[in-house]
Amino acid sequence: MWRDPDKINKWTIADASDLYGVARWGADYFSIDEAGDLVVTPFGRDGAARISLRKIVSEIEERGMAMPAILRIENILGSQIKLLHDTFRSVIKQTGYKGEFRGVFPIKVNQQEQVVEAIAQFGKEYHHGLEAGSKPELIAAISMLPSRDCCLICNGYKDEEFIDLGLYATKMGYQCFFVVEVPGEAELILERAKRMNVRPMLGLRVRLSTKADGQWAESGGEGSVFGLSMGQVVDVLDRLKALDMMDCLRLLHYHIGSQIPNIADIRAGAMEASRIYEELVKEGARMGYLDLGGGLAVDYDGSNTNDQSSRNYSVEEYCYDIVESIMGILDKNGIAHPTIVTESGRMTVAYYSMLLFNVLDVSSFVPSRIPDKLPRIAGDLLGNLMSAYEMVSPKTLQECCNDALYYRNQALQMFKHGNISLRERAMAENIVRHILIKIARTAATMKQVPKDVFKIEEQLYDIYYGNFSLFQSLPDMWAINQIFPVMPIHRLNEAPTHPAIISDITCDCDGKIDNFPESSGNRRTIMLHELKENEEYYLGVFLVGAYQETLGDLHNLFGDTNIVSIHVNEDGSYQFIRDIEGDSVSDVLSYVEYDINDMKQRLKKMAEAAIADGIITVRERKQILDGFAEGLRGYTYFEKE
């Protein structure tokens, strides 16, 4: 609304693609079609499959499922697994590396049965395995393992039961690695294995001195709570030697953190680990596997930098740097190349799921028109404001900024002291807004603008109320300020004219999205379209497949959203393969221990008491109780009739 009108008139979908950074964060899975809809291309932008998200939303709603919904495009899981394996394979071939690559999916990144099952299926031809960090994850993993050729990695603290479960898998011929995380664990694993008469495959998780930048850096470095120090490694080695079990030590593991934005840290970690690997071989351990953990980052903000929401490398560079780092160290002393294992979780699942929601309302920054005749009020406040408004021009921009803010404060003071009325204060504030908008409009036509003007622009936004809960669906956005790509899924052939922030429907002032990729402008706002009468406006938040689903919580008792999965065929046809209805109101109430029948009984009593007092009729009682029953069955989010 205060942008360059020229640009608005000549708007193209290329402008929309650039504004929202689709090509930068979309990793070839997203683009915009001629109709201005955002489309998913699970087989890459050149593939025949182009699925309009606007169309999918209609089909979800026609099936009776309301927004918000999580949409999962199953094939993207397959595409990401293929990308990882194909890239490692090609790098291994080009460099003459003598070992193989084995990927594993760490279940904690997305534990949903459907996700783990799809990964197991898509990963089968690559022997893609699973990683578990707890008993429930281990049982889930074992039940899903597609073949005996893939790795099953057991991390986390292990009690007897955990170890026994893994040993059963070993007995059945699966490649189950027990990664020793704390010193005492090795002893327990050996003891349980002896009892069961199996030789376990052991791994050591080491604490590297290498630390990575980024949000999760704490997992690495010598201060990390996970893994063995070098002294503890030596203790375990001595113990294994004494028991003549050095042939059981097969794997070295480290994990310096998730979402490592800087390739230099990845290289440094691989090199340090390779040196430790070499030493373990020299000590006489059988070895054969080097497990580099997770960390392969997702470029959420599309900036391709070492910012914490991004990464300064491609998947190819990641694979190259790892393979070359390992070879560089091990070749010096002729140590055989190990099988490389990575536990990429985020990279595997982030792209395949998105949150879709409708916008319920907008609170506009734009005030109503200034009336032709203004009342004369104390100190001629409105008159002064109008002069400031008339005065706005490229030459006086800085001065007008100062005036507007000065008079805004004056209006507030005068109101507090009882010198102007509520209506007069409202009028003054409206004119201030008009001044700020005129300043921003003027600035849009200038090459150089004073710094303060940028600060003003940051304040000029509408609030779009989205039908979702940040706490349930995007917890990392709230907890650690993570950036996710956000954009409208349709109308992309029209210029978006409103700078906005997006609020959710929880009653928590933290429930908002006001942090966007740098490229979108001032980072605080996103450009959105004007709402149309009788037409829904839909937004999507993308790359939410990793970590968000189970970390989400019931803040304000907004429950799980509806979930829809589709499977896309190469020719572009697709099927809805699964839908899971989100929580109903009675579901979330029972999570916090309410007894639904008790509640109904109490409501009945209240209604009977109201009848007895003559406040409602028997007929009204039925209506009221039916209303509550209906409410309990309903979706926790805003529903259209």
- The number of beta carbons lying within 10 Å of the beta carbon of residue 431 is 23
Secondary structure class of 133 (helix, strand, coil): coil
* Residue 345 interacting with ligand PLP (CB under 6 A): yes
Binding segment for ligand PLP among 40-48, 104-112, 507-515, 536-544 (CB under 6 A)?
104-112
- Please, what is the minimum distance in Å from the beta carbon of residue 310 to ligand PLP? 14
> Which of 130, 140, 296, 356 is in the footprint of ligand PLP by CB under 6 A?
296
- Please, what is the minimum distance in Å from the beta carbon of residue 463 to ligand PLP? 33
Binding segment for ligand PLP among 33-41, 142-150, 254-262, 310-318 (CB under 6 A)?
254-262
> Which of 26, 200, 295, 582 is in the footprint of ligand PLP by CB under 6 A?
295
- Please, what is the minimum distance in Å from the beta carbon of residue 216 to ligand PLP? 8
- Please, what is the minimum distance in Å from the beta carbon of residue 602 to ligand PLP? 45
* Residue 258 interacting with ligand PLP (CB under 6 A): yes
> Which of 294, 475, 496, 517 is in the footprint of ligand PLP by CB under 6 A?
294
> Which of 207, 211, 250, 255 is in the footprint of ligand PLP by CB under 6 A?
255
- Please, what is the minimum distance in Å from the beta carbon of residue 296 to ligand PLP? 6
Q: How far is CA 117 from CA 125, 144, 307, 581, 600, in A?
A: 14, 6, 33, 19, 40
Closer residue to ligand PLP in complex, CB, 295/485 = 295
CA distance 236 to 214: 32
Site for ligand PLP in 560-589 (CB under 6 A): none
| Closest CA relative to residue 484, chosen from 540, 437, 524, 543 | 543
Closer residue to ligand PLP in complex, CB, 106/511 = 106
Residues 413/419/425/431 CA torsion (nearest 10 deg): -80
Binding segment for ligand PLP among 251-259, 372-380, 421-429, 475-483 (CB under 6 A)?
251-259
> Which of 293, 338, 466, 499 is in the footprint of ligand PLP by CB under 6 A?
293
- How, if at all, do strands 101-106 and 129-132 pair? parallel
- Please, what is the minimum distance in Å from the beta carbon of residue 486 to ligand PLP? 21
* Residue 109 interacting with ligand PLP (CB under 6 A): yes
- The number of beta carbons lying within 10 Å of the beta carbon of residue 159 is 11
Determine contact, residues 428/495, Cβ cutoff 8 Å: no
* Residue 315 interacting with ligand PLP (CB under 6 A): no
* Residue 252 interacting with ligand PLP (CB under 6 A): no
> Which of 24, 85, 108, 433 is in the footprint of ligand PLP by CB under 6 A?
108
Q: How far is CA 348 from CA 15, 211, 281, 298, in A?
A: 29, 23, 31, 9
Closer residue to ligand PLP in complex, CB, 30/216 = 216
* Residue 261 interacting with ligand PLP (CB under 6 A): no
- Please, what is the minimum distance in Å from the beta carbon of residue 381 to ligand PLP? 57
State the residue number with the nearest CB to ligand PLP. 294
Binding segment for ligand PLP among 185-193, 339-347, 445-453, 530-538 (CB under 6 A)?
339-347
Give helix 451-459 / helix 397-416 axis angle, nearest 10°. Answer: 50
Which residue type does 276 have? I
Host H or E run for residue 574:
strand 574-580
State the residue for tokens 């030697």: 241
Q: How far is CA 341 from CA 162, 289, 480, in A?
A: 22, 7, 29
* Residue 123 interacting with ligand PLP (CB under 6 A): no
* Residue 476 interacting with ligand PLP (CB under 6 A): no
Which residue type does 369 have? R
List the structure tokens of 332. Answer: 């010096």
Determine contact, residues 353/474, Cβ cutoff 8 Å: no
CA distance 383 to 368: 18
Determine contact, residues 258/216, Cβ cutoff 8 Å: yes
- How, if at all, do strands 101-106 and 339-342 pair? parallel
CA 350-351-355 angle, 5° bins: 85
> Which of 41, 308, 344, 503 is in the footprint of ligand PLP by CB under 6 A?
344
Task: Count interface residues toward ligand PLP (CB under 6 A).
Answer: 17
* Residue 549 interacting with ligand PLP (CB under 6 A): no
Closer residue to ligand PLP in complex, CB, 74/131 = 131
- Please, what is the minimum distance in Å from the beta carbon of residue 629 to ligand PLP? 43
Binding pattern to ligand PLP, positions 196-235, x when CB under 6 A? ----------------------------------------
Site for ligand PLP in 140-159 (CB under 6 A): 155
Please enumerate in sequence order all residues whose Cβ is within 8 A of that of 484, keeping only pairs 6 or more positions apart, or say none.
Answer: 300, 474, 477, 541, 542, 543, 544
Could you give the strand order of the β-sheet that contains 30-32, starting from the edge strand earlier in sequence?
30-32, 38-40, 51-52
- Please, what is the minimum distance in Å from the beta carbon of residue 426 to ligand PLP? 50
> Which of 21, 103, 106, 545 is in the footprint of ligand PLP by CB under 6 A?
106
SS (H, E, C) 311-362: CCCCHHHHHHHHHHHHHHHHHHHCCCCCEEEECCCHHHHHHHEEEEEEEEEE
- Please, what is the minimum distance in Å from the beta carbon of residue 226 to ligand PLP? 7
Closer residue to ligand PLP in complex, CB, 543/589 = 543
Binding segment for ligand PLP among 26-34, 252-260, 468-476, 530-538 (CB under 6 A)?
252-260
Please enumerate in sequence order all residues whose Cβ is within 8 A of that of 69, keeping only pairs 6 or more positions apart, or say none.
Answer: 57, 60, 355, 356, 357, 561, 562, 563, 564, 582
Secondary structure class of 624 (helix, strand, coil): helix
Positions that interact with ligand PLP (CB under 6 A)? 106, 108-109, 155, 255, 258-259, 293-296, 343-347, 546
